[in-house]
Structure 1
Amino acid sequence: MCKNAKLFHSIKLIIYLLASTFCFATAEAKTLSSDEVTSRINKIDNYLSKSEVNGFSGAVLVSYKGNIILNRGYGLADKKNEIPATTDMVYDIGSLTKQFTAAGILHLVKEGKISTDDTLSKFFDNLPYNKKEITIHQLLTHTSGITDYPYDNRKDFYKHIETNTYFDKVFSLDEQFAPGKKFEYSNTGYSILSRIIELVTNENYEVFLARVFFTPLGMTQTGYLLPNWDASLYPKSYRLGTIPGETYIPHYQKRNKVPWQVKGAAGIYSTVTDIHKWLNAIAQERVLTPELITQLKTPYVQMSHKSKNYYGYGWVVRNSSSETELYHNGSNLYFTADIHWQPVDNQLQVIMLSNINSKSTFEVPTQIVGLWEKPETSPKEYKLPAWRKVLSWIS
C-alpha cells in the first residue's frame, strides 16, 4: 500500500471512529415491554412453524439485548429417519467462518505482532511482483484482486492440497484487478489470512481460534476437528430441500486436517447457542478492544455501485429500518447459515443455521427481522422450488 493510500485508510478509520462513537452514544434503542417482546416472538415462531410445514428445517435463535427469547429447532434433521432438528446439532456455517478469521487477525494486531497495513511480502517468500504489496487490510475487505483457487466441481473444494502447492498456485494466478481498486468477494483471500495466522503464531489455525476465542468463551461446539462431537449431532443436509448431502466433519477427521480451500474462509461447524455466545462476547468487548471491534464494523468498501451494503472485516455492514446492522450469510450449497445483528445496545440477534439450501431459506432471517421491526406486517411465505423433485431424480 502506498503512503497516500495508507494515509487515506487511516483518516477514513479515524472519521468513522469519531462518528460511530457519537452515533452509538446518542442512539436510543427502544426498550420494549415484556408483552411487546412476547407478542413479537409469538409471531416469529408462528411464521417459522408455518415455514416448517412448507419444508424449512434447522435451528433459529433470536436474542433481545443479549438475552435469548427464542431458541428452537424446526423441521427434520434427517427426513428418511424422521429425526427432528434441534438447537444442539452442529451445522456448517459456511462463510460465517470469515468473522472468526478477521477477529483472529485483529487479535494479533492487539498483541502487536502484525498490522493491517502489513503486506504479503512480510509473510511469504518468492512472491510475484504484483502480489508483494497486497495488504492484510485488502485481504480482509475483499479488495486484494487475488483470484480464487480454481476447482472444477464442489468436491474439489474439499480436496486436500499440500500447503506449498496450494499457495504457489494461488500466487501464480493472474490478478483480477490492481489491489485496492474494487471489491470482489474472495474465499482464497481469507485462506491466505488463515495461513498468515499460522505463520505468525506457529499454531494451527483452529488451535489458535480455540485458544484465544472458543475455549475462553465456552464455545465447545465450534470448530473443524477439535470439538468432541457425537455423530448424532450431525444433521443430514438437503440441497433445494430434496437432494441429500452429508456433513464434512468425517472427511476432516479422516485426514485429520482441513483443506486450504476451506480453512479460514468457510467450513467451520457450530451451533446457534455458540454463535450467540460469540456475538455477546463482541458486544461486551470481551473479544477485542473497543477500537478493534470498531474496525470489524467499519464500512470500508461498497460491495457494488448500486448496493447499500459495505464490507468491514468479516462482516457486511448495512442499514436496517432502525439502525446499523451487521450481517453475513454462508453456504456450501447444502447447509445455509445467516446472522443479522443490530449491535447498538445488542438490540437484536437473529441466528439461523439450516440443513436446507434454497433461496427461501436465505430469506428466513430477513423475514424474522421484518416481523420484529414491524409486527403488523405479513412475512413472505416460505416455499421450496416446485421443480426440486425433478432434480432429485436426475442427481
Structure 2
Amino acid sequence: MQTQIDQLMSRYDGPGPGASLLIVRDGNPVVRRGYGFSNLEQRTAAAPDTNYRLASVSKQFTAAAILLLAEERKLHLDDSLRKWFPSLPDVAASMTIRQVLSHRSGLIDYEDVIPPELTRQLRDADVLAILQTQNRTYFPPGTGYRYSNSGYALLALIVGKASGKDFATFLEQRIFAPLGMTNTVAYEDGISTVKRRAFGYSEEQRSWTRTDQSQTSAVLGDGGIYSSIDDLAKWDAALYDDRLLNATSRALAFTPISDTDDPTVRYGMGWRITQEAIGGRTLWHSGETVGFRNVIIRYPEQRFTIVLLTNRNEPEPYQTARAIANLVLK
C-alpha cells in the first residue's frame, strides 16, 4: 500500500517543492511523511513537522474560535454584524454571524474592491475598512451562498472584540496551546515566527519561482495560519470529544447549512460536507493561496483522516487525498 501511496504522491517527490502527508486511523498515524522540499534555496526536505501556510484550511479555526465565544455567551450567532461594526453600511444590519460562518451573508469580496492606491499588504482591519465603503450585497443576507473571505476576516475581528485579545493571541491561548499544537501560529510578520517554515513556489516556464506572499497573505481570519501535519493530528483528535468544543458546537460546525456551487458539497461552519461512496460522510476543507495548496478530509464514521499540505501552486491536492483515502478504506 505504501508503494501505491507513493505513486499517487509522485508529483511531489524529487527535487522540487513538496508536501507532507498524514493518514490517521483510530487515532494512530498510518502514514506520516514528507516528499520533496520545503525550502528549495536551502534544500530543506519536507517533513512531518514542516509548517505550511494553511490558507482557507484556517477557516475551521476561525469558526471554532467564534463557537467557543458563543459557548461563553460573549457573542451570539444571530448578532448583527452592525452590532460589532457600527461603521459598516446599512446593508450589514441584517447580516448575522451565523450567516457569515456558512457563507450566506452576501458580503462583497474584498479582493475585488481593493483601492488601487492601497498597494501594501493587507490586514483584517483593512478588510473592514474596505467593506465600510460597500453598501451593496450579492444577494439578500440568508438567501444564497457565496464563499466569502471577507466574512472570515470580519469573524477574526469579532473574536478580538468579544474576547478582549487579538485574534492570534486568542487562538494561541484557547486552541493551539491547550491542544499541544506548539508550532501552529496565526503568523504576523515582525510579531511571530514560523518554525520549520515551508515557503511557497509556483512553476513558471518549467522552473520553480518563490511565490510565498501576496497582498492578501497577511489577512488572518480567512487564511493566515501556519501548521504541520503533526499539529493537525492533534486538532483532528480534539474534534471527536469535548476537550475544545462541546457537542452542541461541534454539531453546528459539522451540520450542513448551505448548498454550494457544487451539488455534491454542502457547507457547515468552517467545514465542507460530502457523502462518499467509500467511507461515508466527510468533513473537509481545502486551502489555496499563492504557492500553497492544502486539504484536510475527515471521515468521522471511520475515525479516519487524511491531511495533505503542499508548498506549490499545483497540483490540486483534494483529488489526490481522496484517491489515497479510497485506497486505504476500500
Shorter-chain-normalised TM-score: which range? Answer: 0.7 to 0.9
Q: Following the alignment from structure 1 to structure 2, what is the Cα–Cα distance between the partners of residues 75 and 171?
A: 44
Match of 1:210 in 2: 172
Tell me the secondary structure at the aligned position of residue 82 of structure 2.
Answer: helix
User: Does the alignment pair 1:349 with 2:305?
Assistant: yes
Tell me the secondary structure at the aligned position of residue 145 of structure 2.
Answer: coil
Match of 1:303 in 2: 260
8 Å CA contact retained: 1:318, 1:324: yes
Q: Following the alignment from structure 2 to structure 1, what is the Cα–Cα distance between the partners of residues 59 and 311?
A: 20
8 Å CA contact retained: 2:286, 2:295: yes
User: Does the alignment pair 1:238 with 2:210?
Assistant: no
8 Å CA contact retained: 1:59, 1:72: yes
Match of 2:160 in 1: 198
Q: Normalization by structure 1: what TM-score? A: 0.74
Q: Following the alignment from structure 2 to structure 1, what is the Cα–Cα distance between the partners of residues 218 and 12?
A: 33
Tell me the secondary structure at the aligned position of residue 292 of structure 1.
Answer: helix
Q: Which amino acid aligns with 1:76?
A: F
Larger radius of gyration: 1
Label 1:326 to 1:240 Cα distance change in 2 as closer, same or farther (>3 A): farther
Q: Which amino acid aligns with 2:258?
A: V
Q: Following the alignment from structure 1 to structure 2, what is the Cα–Cα distance between the partners of residues 227 and 214?
A: 14
Match of 1:291 in 2: 248
Q: Following the alignment from structure 1 to structure 2, what is the Cα–Cα distance between the partners of residues 149 and 288?
A: 30
Label 1:237 to 1:150 Cα distance change in 2 as closer, same or farther (>3 A): closer
Q: Following the alignment from structure 2 to structure 1, what is the Cα–Cα distance between the partners of residues 307 and 182?
A: 18
The alpha carbon displacement at 1:157 in A equals 8.8
Q: Normalization by structure 2: what TM-score? A: 0.88
Match of 1:189 in 2: 151
- Tell me, which stretches of 5 or more residues in structure 1 are unaligned? 1-39, 252-257, 375-395
| Matched ranges for 1:1-395 at <5 A | 40-49=1-10, 52-53=13-14, 57-150=18-111, 159-160=121-122, 163=125, 166-173=127-134, 174-223=136-185, 224-225=187-188, 229-230=194-195, 233-240=196-203, 242-245=207-210, 247-248=212-213, 262-304=219-261, 307-321=263-277, 322-344=279-301, 347-374=303-330
Structure with the higher strand share, 1 or 2:
2
Would you say how many aligned residue pairs link Structure 1 and Structure 2? Answer: 320
Q: Following the alignment from structure 1 to structure 2, what is the Cα–Cα distance between the partners of residues 214 and 243?
A: 33
Q: Percent identity at matched positions? A: 29
The Cα RMSD (Å) is: 2.7
Q: Following the alignment from structure 1 to structure 2, what is the Cα–Cα distance between the partners of residues 175 and 83?
A: 45
- Alpha-carbon displacement from aligned partner over 1:1-51 (angstroms, at most 9, x marks no partner): xxxxxxxxxxxxxxxxxxxxxxxxxxxxxxxxxxxxxxx455324533575
8 Å CA contact retained: 1:92, 1:331: no
8 Å CA contact retained: 1:75, 1:85: yes
The alpha carbon displacement at 1:126 in A equals 3.9
- Tell me, which stretches of 5 or more residues in structure 2 are unaligned? none
Match of 1:4 in 2: none
Q: Following the alignment from structure 1 to structure 2, what is the Cα–Cα distance between the partners of residues 358 and 207?
A: 32
8 Å CA contact retained: 1:131, 1:171: no
The alpha carbon displacement at 1:219 in A equals 0.5
Tell me the secondary structure at the aligned position of residue 286 of structure 2.
Answer: strand
The alpha carbon displacement at 1:191 in A equals 0.5
